[in-house]
Amino acid sequence: MNLRTLLAATALLAAGATAAHAAAPADTLAAVTAGHISATMTARDAGSAQWFFAMAPDDVMPLLPANTRLDMLDYYNSGLARPSRNAAGGEAMLTSSADRRLTFVLGDSTTCELAVFAGRADTIVALIETIRFPMADSRISWFDGSWSPVAPPVAEPRLADWLTPEGRRRRAEAEAELPFITAEATADPDSRTITFRRTIDSYFLPQQAPAALGLLRPSLTVRLPR
C-alpha cells in the first residue's frame, strides 16, 4: 500500500468526501478506518510492526479480532497495562513494541511475536507463536507485505542442524534418544535473523535426562536473505 495514497485517502475521509470514500480501494479504506479507530496510531506508523498488527486479517489472528488488536495497541501506547479479552475468553496484551518487532500475550500459555523484515523487493512478516506448556515450542508463519502467506525464507532447524561435531559422529545415538526437538524462536529484524533456543531439556526429569542432550547446540541462528 502506497503511503501517499493512504495520506490522500485520510484527508478525503476527514473532509467528508463520501463519493471518493466509496471509490477508494478496499485495502486503503481498511487502513484509513484503522487509523481513525485507533487513537494512538497515525499514517506515520505505516510499515511498522504496530501497523501490520493492526492491519492483519482476522483469519491470520482468529483469537484477536481487529477491534481487540486496536484496543491492545491503544492501551500499550497509553502506558496502560490493561489486558483485553481474546475470542476464547483469555487475556491478551502487548508486552513490548519497537519499530519492526512487537510481542504480545495471547492467553495463559501462549506468547506471540510479530517481526517485519524489509527487503529489496517486498516486506516479509514473521508471526511467531510460542506454546509454553509443557515446554516452550515455537511455530512460525510467514507472510508478504499484504498478509498473503509465503513460503518460509529460511528453514526451521532439524535434529541434524542441532548436532555438535561430536553429535554428528554419534548421530545414531542422538536420533534414538531424541526423536524430536522443541525450541523457542525469537526474531531480530535489524540483523535479519531468527534465533532458536532449544527447550527439549525441560521435557525430561533431571534424573532421566538422556546423555544425547550433551550432543546438541544450545541455540541456532539463521539469517534471512535480502
Digit-by-digit pLDDT tens for the chain (226 residues) are 333 333 333 333 333 322 333 333 334 334 444 444 466 766 567 889 999 999 999 999 999 999 999 999 999 999 999 999 999 999 999 999 999 999 999 988 999 999 999 977 789 999 999 998 889 999 999 999 999 999 999 999 999 999 999 999 999 999 999 989 999 999 999 999 999 999 999 999 988 999 999 999 999 999 998 8
pLDDT at residue 14, as a whole number: 31
pLDDT at residue 206, as a whole number: 87
pLDDT at residue 164, as a whole number: 97
pLDDT at residue 10, as a whole number: 33
The model's pTM is: 0.80
Contact call for residues 157 and 183 (beta carbons, < 8 A) = yes
Which cell numbers hold the place of 115?
517481526
Integer angstrom CA distances of residue 167 from 155, 190, 213:
20, 32, 9
Furthest-apart CA atoms within the chain: distance in Å: 71
- 3-state DSSP call for residue 145? coil
What does the alpha-carbon distance between residue 35 and residue 151 come to, in Å, rounded to a whole number? 30
What does the alpha-carbon distance between residue 212 and residue 110 come to, in Å, rounded to a whole number? 28
What does the alpha-carbon distance between residue 142 and residue 52 come to, in Å, rounded to a whole number? 13
Give the position of cell 466509496.
22
- 3-state DSSP call for residue 170? coil
List helix spans (H) across 100-214: 159-162, 165-169, 171-177
Looking at the DSSP bridge assignments, the partners of residue 187 are 194
Helix, strand, coil % (nearest 5) of the chain? 35, 25, 40
Domain boundaries, the chain: 1-37
What does the alpha-carbon distance between residue 22 and residue 56 come to, in Å, rounded to a whole number? 22
pLDDT at residue 179, as a whole number: 85
